[in-house]
Chain A
Amino acid sequence: MTPLPPTFESWFSKRGWSIHPHQQAMLDQTSAPALLLIAPTGGGKTLAGFLPSLLELADGQHKGLHTLYVSPLKALAADIKRNLRTPVDEMDLPIRIEDRTGDTSYTQKRRQRADPPHILLTTPESLALLTSYEDAPRIFKGLQRIIVDEIHALAESKRGDQLMLAVSRLQTLAPDLRRVGLSATVEDPDAIAAELARHPDPCAIINADPGPDPDISMLITQEKPPWTGGGANYAIPAVLDEVKKHNTTLIFHNTRAQAEIFFHNLWLANTDDLPIGIHHGSLAREQREKVEAAMVAGDLRAIVCTGSLDLGIDWGDVDLVVQVGAPKNVKRLVQRIGRANHRYNAPSKALLVPANRFEVVECVAALEAVKEHDLDGDPKGPGPRDVLCQHILITACAGPFDADQLYREIKAVGAYRTLSRAAFDDCLDFCATGGYALRAYDKWKRLLQTADGMWQLRDPRAAQRIRMNIGTIQDTDTLKVRLKGNFKPLGEVEEAFAATLTPGDTFLIGGQVVRYENLKEMTVQVSRRADKKPKIATFMGTKFANSTQLSQRILRMFDQPDWPNLPAHTAEWLRLQRQFSKLPEADRILVESFPHEGRHHICVYGFAGRNAMQTLGMLLTQRMEELGLHPLGFVATDYATLVWGLDPVHDPAPLLEPDNMRADFETWLSGNAVMKKTFRGAATIAGLIERNLPQARKSGRQATFSSDILYDTLSKYDPDHLMLRITREEAMRGLVDFGRIEEMLARTAGRIDHVILDRVTPLSLPMFLEQGRIAVAGAGQDRILEEEAARLMQEAGVSAL
């Protein structure tokens, strides 16, 4: 056992602390090349990660960078800096700590490169940028440790892959580098360990005491949850009561729009003037920082927030977490609940607030899963190649490189351990020549091979453009929102949302109602409006698919003869559905047909999760288009797909026939919007489309337009191009999720129940307020467009010019 040096020992005892077993274990195994710590929130995880570094740096002998700390959030880096200062200052250790994120000033960044601190706190994107500089070998020489915080969150996205590629680069520059990962409770620690360690090195896993089970329940209100919607307005008085009973409450929402609406209504009902704030990713940085500071100071009784507060920032004395809307995923719920009672060995307290009747069912299913410690999760595929392409370009920015050496470095990344040399060469060729069947760019290659076999940029000035486009985060294009005549931004909205606004429209942002005035230099100008009910702010938040495990639980629940475990109103609703139609069953597909507002609707209950149900919508509408049924659009939720069109569907069986569906799938895959969206993401990451240009900002709408055209052109003339192969694979796994459709087809084996009704059914009701409706670009839409154009012509009194 490694004993603590006296300075540290006395610092611990002065605070009345003793070292946690897992902190001691981290110290004991500090020489391990890779080490993963799994600990619940509040388990002293960060200190456990940093303690070995502080010990090694205490004698003041180390010159230059010693420890790199990487976290998914800029705010987290700033927060850790503040928390680390306490022990360093109190023990008077000779350690320089700095952070470096997108918000760090230009001069500060330059200085950090010339004279790096002992401990640098950063994000995956800022680290990738650092490795792209010519002086990277000098900056990272002597680097001893890298700490990846919240590695479970990073590992779920391409940001984690980009990070581990950069770490492999660092390992070459600093061979003694040891890797440390800090993770919340996850279902498969071995998978994360394999991503963290240099392949094929082993990675030791330290499990901290998970602490007591959380105290978690569903909020029962006097008011019944509504049939539809996601706002949970009905629960406002009850939530406000809970806020009053606790010191500090975090109120989580699944989307930003819902957070805004809830905050607005909470504020209207807040007659006691309790200090309540709002925090989400669309708010301007200044706004967010204000809320964060107030929170740390303990000035707020509640914060309405989204996933932007998911990760381990220390918010002080939070004693209640409220989750509004069904959690969709048990693992994420457990991690969110951990936000409450940020003290080791105290049970977290959490309340689930279903937004509508269906979510009552989902919440009860999630509660049962938490009680049984049944975490969910799907295994991740191999390392994505669009990220690899970006990594090759970043490597080229730093200077000439050897392809064999780079390939070895990439194979040492867990996620890329199975990458073949041919696949690597494909990516290199894409970066160098575009990788087209038509070798059109011999004259203008991006990368050239010099006489000694090294690869380098043809035009070194290209490095600036590549650096400007580093990153794998795919957020939609957003516009800043400002009060007219005021410089300070209120926040951001998506460009697509801004495009729907006409002067006079009102929407919610940062908890206030504003009126759209005009668009000036890519900024949405608004004025304050307190008197009007707002048009809903439809900027998106992340929507997750319900996990397979949760969907199965819900179907099992439907199968019960009655539902004593559900609130009376929800049980009554399910009884109504059983009476008027049927309840979906695990081994059958239920299809309901009914008219609504002059359109024919079919609702297909497949319970395959949002993404797969979306794909099902695409396939159904394609088949309906072929059958001349004029489908107009569809919307998908985790459990069903609702399609509407101009003609009725008399027999759904051929639409859902497995062989038809598989055959249709391939044809469909090449020509649909989801593929275009996936392509846009992959092409942007791989450097085929630039998000940021040196001069003026490219308008997002123009970018959407051209990426669709690029997709169409490639599909037509070069269908085997690397970008299309990447798009296909990615869509299959993520947005398309055909795997879960296959699972649904296997489980139901052609058993279809078709129920024909004269009106909307209880269970389909929530579908009608669901956002994210997708229009079908087919004959039906053309017919409506022509009818609308003709109507407008007639209205204008013009028949022709």
Chain B
Amino acid sequence: MNAYTFSLCKTQCIALPSGALHLPAHDVLCVSDLHLGKSERIARRSGVMLPPYEVQDTLQKLETDIAATKPSQIICLGDSFDDLDAAASLDDDMRLWLARLQAGKSWVWIEGNHDPGPIDMGGTHLGEITIGTLTLRHIASAATAEVSGHYHPKHRVTGRSQPAFLLDHERMIMPAYGAYTGGLASHSKDIRRLFNGPIMAILTGHKAIPVPVS
């Protein structure tokens, strides 16, 4: 198995190599920062037209993870859309695809800073949600036992920098799941100040690999 199993505040967690988080005891799959519609937003605002295939690519990845973990609930941990207009102008094919993924599942959209309002899309819209011992919200707070996204953390080992889960004993920051997302290095101050204890990174890629962050 290429995933990595560990426990955070007594809740069993499985970090998938794709950057998704599986909570098997609760039948939950969680993904953060999909940034769907990013290329559309960039074209609208700057005129630069990036390859318009990132929604397709991100949904394909999500479909694979859903098929592998068969969750009953899917939580998108904020910044699921690059902005509310991007959500509104999502292509019909992509809307249908998303609806197909949602069929028969409980689907939760957590609000993010890019998508702060309700979206015209199936599913429940929440500010945060509690699963087992963990609270899931978009941006890390002072509270403990928390899972959040927002920072798009990356970590570098042997010269290779990869999106990574970062965690200590009290909290976890999830990597960005979307295709067109940059990243913030694990040693940056903005990330470091969120943690109290020693930090561990779980690298994504072909395989989820745990490594201590010095």
Contact = CB atoms under 8 A, between A and B. Distances in A.
A497 interface: no
Given A702-B182, A782-B207, A801-B8, A436 B51 contact: yes
Interface in A763-795: 775, 777, 781-782, 784-786, 788-789, 792-793, 795
A434 B52 contact: yes
Interface string B50-92: 1111101100000000000000000000000000000001010
B48 A690 contact: yes
Interface in B191-211: 198, 200, 203, 206-207, 209-211
A716 interface: yes
B51 A789 contact: no
Given A789-B210, A798-B212, A800-B6, A688 B169 contact: no
Contacts of B57: 713, 716-717
Given A438-B53, A785-B160, A796-B212, A462 B180 contact: no
A701 B188 CA distance: 14
Given A702-B182, A713-B179, A462 B47 contact: yes
Contact of B46 (A436, A443, A465): A465
A775 B8 CA distance: 35
Given A717-B56, A782-B206, A786-B209, A441 B182 contact: no
B104 interface: no
A459 B52 contact: no
Interface string A610-636: 000000000000000000000000000
A433 B48 contact: no
A11 interface: no
Interface residues of B, number: 41
Contacts of A446: 43, 47-49
Contacts of B50: 434, 688, 710
A709 B50 CA distance: 11
B115 interface: no
A710 B182 CA distance: 12
A370 interface: no
B213 to A, nearest CB: 9
Counting chain B CB atoms within 10 Å of each CB, which of A443, A709, A714 scores highest? A709
B46 A462 contact: yes
Contacts, number: 118
Contacts of A721: 51
A17 interface: no
Contacts of B46: 462, 465, 690
Interface in A566-583: none
Given A713-B57, A792-B212, A718 B51 contact: yes
A441 B48 contact: no
B58 to A, nearest CB: 10
B52 A441 contact: yes
Contacts of B89: 443
B111 interface: no
Contacts of B211: 788-789, 792-793
B167 interface: yes
Which size class do A's interface residues fall under?
A: 35 or more
A440 B50 CA distance: 10
A67 B113 CA distance: 55
A465 B53 contact: no
Nearest to A690: B48
B41 to A, nearest CB: 10
B45 to A, nearest CB: 9
A20 B118 CA distance: 80
B40 interface: yes
Given A688-B48, A706-B180, A801-B7, A717 B53 contact: yes
A444 interface: yes
Nearest to B49: A434
A800 B51 contact: no
Given A717-B53, A793-B212, A784 B47 contact: no
5 contacts: A443-B89, A458-B47, A714-B53, A781-B160, A793-B212
Interface of B: 6-8, 39-40, 43-44, 46-54, 56-57, 89, 91, 157-161, 167, 169, 179-180, 182-183, 198, 200, 203, 206-207, 209-212, 214
**Which 5 pairs, one residue from A and one from B, show the smallest C-beta to C-beta distance?**
A434-B49, A440-B52, A462-B47, A444-B43, A717-B53
Given A440-B40, A788-B158, 15 more contacts: A434-B49, A444-B43, A462-B46, A689-B48, A690-B48, A702-B183, A705-B182, A710-B51, A710-B180, A713-B180, A775-B159, A789-B211, A792-B214, A796-B214, A798-B212
Interface of A: 433-434, 436, 438, 440-441, 443-444, 446, 457-459, 462, 465, 687-690, 701-702, 705-706, 709-710, 713-714, 716-718, 721, 775, 777, 781-782, 784-786, 788-789, 792-793, 795-796, 798, 800-801
